[in-house]
Amino acid sequence: MTTSTSPQEILLEIKNVNKNFGGLQAIDDVTLDLPAGVITTLVGPNGAGKTTLFNLITGHLIPSSGTIHWLGKPLKGFQPWQVARLGIARTFQDLRLYSQMTVEENVMTVTERSSWLWQGGRQAAEQRVTEILTETQLLDKRHERAVDLAYAERKFLSLARIMASEAKLWLLDEPASGLDPRSFDRFVTLLRDYAKRGITICIIEHNLDIVIKLSDRVAFLDQGKLLAQGSSEDILKDPHLAAIYFGERA
Amino acid sequence: MIAYLQNIAVLFCINAILALTLNFIMGYAGIFSLAHAIFFGVGAYATAYIAMHASDSLLLCMAASAAISAILSMALALPALRVRGEYFVAASLGLQVIGVTIFSEWKSITGGLGGMIGIPRPKLWGYTFNDDTAFLMLALVVLGIVVGITALLVRGSFGRSLMAIRDSESAAQTYGKHVNAVKTLSVAVAAGLAGVAGSLYAFYISFINVESFVLETSILLMAMVIIGGTGTLFGPIVGAALLMSLPAALTYLPFLPPTELGSIQQIIYGLAMVLLMMFRPGGLVGGRSKEKSA
C-alpha cells in the first residue's frame, strides 16, 4: 500500500473499521486518517464502500467493529445530529435539499443549531446567510423554493448549506457531478477557498478532473478495502489501481 | 336565524383550531396523523370532568385540557414517532381506535357511550359565558391566540426545523437537528392546542360523548387541511370555513331532498378532494403545484 505521512493534526481517525450487511462486507478493515486542512478524495469503482464510510463517520450507520475518533474522542454511540454538532457535516449524492423551503430558509435553518424560538445572534446569522448566498451566487434566488432551482443551482445550494454549518470537516459526496464547465470551475474555486480558510474536506468523486485539481491526497477503495493512499499523481499513475477503477480487473 | 349563524360560527372556530393544529404537524412536520380527534376528545373530557367535579374556571379547564392532551400525546408519540411515513399513519389509526374504545368504555371518567351531560358554561374572572354571543367572542379570541401561536412557531427557527425534517429527515439530522425531540414537541404542541379546542367544545355543547371524537372527525379535519392548503397558515381556516358552511348552504337549496343531504354532502367532499388533488394539489390557499419533478 502506498502511504504518505503528514505532520498536521489528525481530525478524524478511522481504525480497523468493518461494516457487514448480513453476509456482505461493505467496509473491510479500513484504517484512514483525515488530517486538518487537507483535502482528501475517496476514489474507487461503484460499490467500493465510499458512501458507506461517510455513513459510518456521520453516525447514519454503526461500525460492526473498529473505532472512529474525532479529535481524539470516540464517536461510538453518537447520533447523526450529535456528530453534526461536534463539527462534522456532509452533503448527499442525491442532495436532499429541503425542497419546499426557500433557498434562504435552506441555509438559515443550518445556522440554527437549536430549534428554540429565541435564537441568539440572529443578525449575525442573517448576515452570514447573505454572505454565503453571495459566494454561491444564489442571492437573487433567495426567495425561490429549492425544488424550483436548476440543477447546478441545487448543487450550489447543497454547498451553501454545508458552508453555513460551520463544521470543521466537510464530507462531500460527489459534489461536482453533472456540473457544466463554468459552474465546475466556480465550484472548485469555492472549495479551494474554504480549504485555505482551514476547512478539512473529504470528497467522494468520480470526476478525475476534480481529483487532480483539488486533492492533496487520494485514498483508493475497492470492495470495502482501502487499497492505497497518497498523492493524486501516485494513485492515478498506478496501472493496477487504474485497471480496477476502469473495471479491467484480471 | 342569528342563533343558527352564531352556532355555525362557534363550531367553525373550534374546527379551525383543530385544522390549524393538525396542519402544524401534517403540513409543517410531515406527520400524517389519523388520531387528531383523540386529542380533541381528551381535551373535551378533561374539561367536562373538571368543570363538573371541581371548577368551571375557563383558564383552569383549558390549561388542564391542554396539558393532559400534550402529555398523553408525548407518551403515545414517543414510540409511534420511531416509525415513518405510512407506518406512522397506521400507528395513528391504531391510536384512534384505542382512544375511541377508552372513551366508550371508561365509564367512571367519560360516562361511557352515554357521555357526559350538563357541563356548565365557563367562568372567567367572575363572568359566566352563558350568552352565545359572548361565547362566540370567546371562541374567536381563542382562535386568534392559536393562530398567533402557530404563526410564531412556524415562521421562526422551530418552523424551519419542522419543515427541514418534513423535506429530508436525514439531511436535517446531518445538520444537527434532534429530529425525534422536534417531532415529539410538535406533536405535543398540536395535541395541547387540540385539547384547548376540546375544552371550548365541551363548554359550548354542554354534552359530549364518543360520537364527536371518532375516526370520521379525524378524516374531516384532514380534509379541511388538504382542501385549504397543507403547510400554509391560513389554508386550514379556509378549509374549515368551507366544510363547516357546506352543510348549512345545502339546506338552503330547495330542490335537494332533506333526507339525502348527508349523502350529497359526502359526495361533494369527495369530489372537492379529487378535483383539488388533480388541479391544485397545494390546496386553495397553497400554490398551484406542490412539487416539481427533480
Encode pLDDT of B165-195 as tens digits.
999 999 999 999 999 899 999 999 999 999 9
Q: Is the pLDDT of residue B44 over 50?
A: yes
- DSSP label of B128: E
Q: How far is CA B198 from CA A179, B240, B290, B292, in A?
A: 54, 16, 32, 38
**Average pLDDT, integer, range A217-227:** 92
Contacts of A64 (CB under 8 A, 6+ apart): A18, A19, A20
Q: Is the pLDDT of residue A5 over 60?
A: no
pLDDT value, residue A75: 94
Note whether A187 and A156 are within 8 A (CB).
yes
Contacts of B163 in chain A (CB under 8 A): 98, 100-101, 105, 109
Which residue in the block uniquely carries the three cell numbers 437537528? Answer: B177
Which of the given ranges, A103-117, A122-136, B76-90, B249-263, has the highest pLDDT on average?
Answer: A122-136
Q: Can you list the positions of beta strands (E) in B9-146?
A: 116-117, 123-124, 127-128
Q: Is the pLDDT of residue A6 over 50?
A: no
Instruction: Tell me which residue in B161, B167, B175 faces A99 most closely, judged by beta carbons.
Output: B167
**Average pLDDT, integer, range B10-35:** 94
Contacts of B160 in chain A (CB under 8 A): 101, 105, 108-109, 112
pLDDT band at A115 (very low <50, low <70, confident <90, very high): low
Note whether B24 and B245 are within 8 A (CB).
no
pTM of the predicted protein model: 0.87
**Is A96's Cβ below 8 Å from some Cβ in B?**
yes
Task: Count the Cβ atoms, other than its own, within 10 Å of residue B123.
Answer: 18
pLDDT value, residue B292: 46
ipTM: 0.88
**Position B87: which residue type?**
Y
Q: Which of A105, A109, A159 to mutate to test the interface with B (most CBs of B within 10 A)?
A: A109
Q: What's the burial of B86, exposed, middle or buried (CB within 10 Å: 0-12/13-18/19+)?
A: exposed
The answer to whether the CB atoms of A98 and B163 lie below 8 A apart is yes
pLDDT value, residue A4: 41
**Average pLDDT, integer, range A15-38:** 93
pLDDT single digits (tens) B122-176: 999 989 998 999 999 999 999 999 999 999 999 999 999 999 999 999 999 999 9
* Alpha carbons B147 and B76: distance in angstroms, whole number: 25
Which residue from B minimizes the CA distance to A109?
A: B160
Which residue from B minimizes the CA distance to A79?
A: B173
Q: How far is CA B208 from CA A237, B116, B211, B270, in A?
A: 80, 5, 8, 28
pLDDT value, residue B294: 36
Instruction: Tell me which residue in A81, A92, A105 faces B177 most closely, judged by beta carbons.
Output: A81
Note whether B231 and B23 are within 8 A (CB).
yes
pLDDT value, residue A117: 64
**Average pLDDT, integer, range A118-136:** 88
Mean per-residue pLDDT of chain A = 89
Contacts of B156 in chain A (CB under 8 A): 117, 119
Contacts of A148 in chain B (CB under 8 A): 292
pLDDT value, residue A177: 85
* Alpha carbons B20 and B11: distance in angstroms, whole number: 14
pLDDT single digits (tens) B192-209: 999 999 999 999 999 999
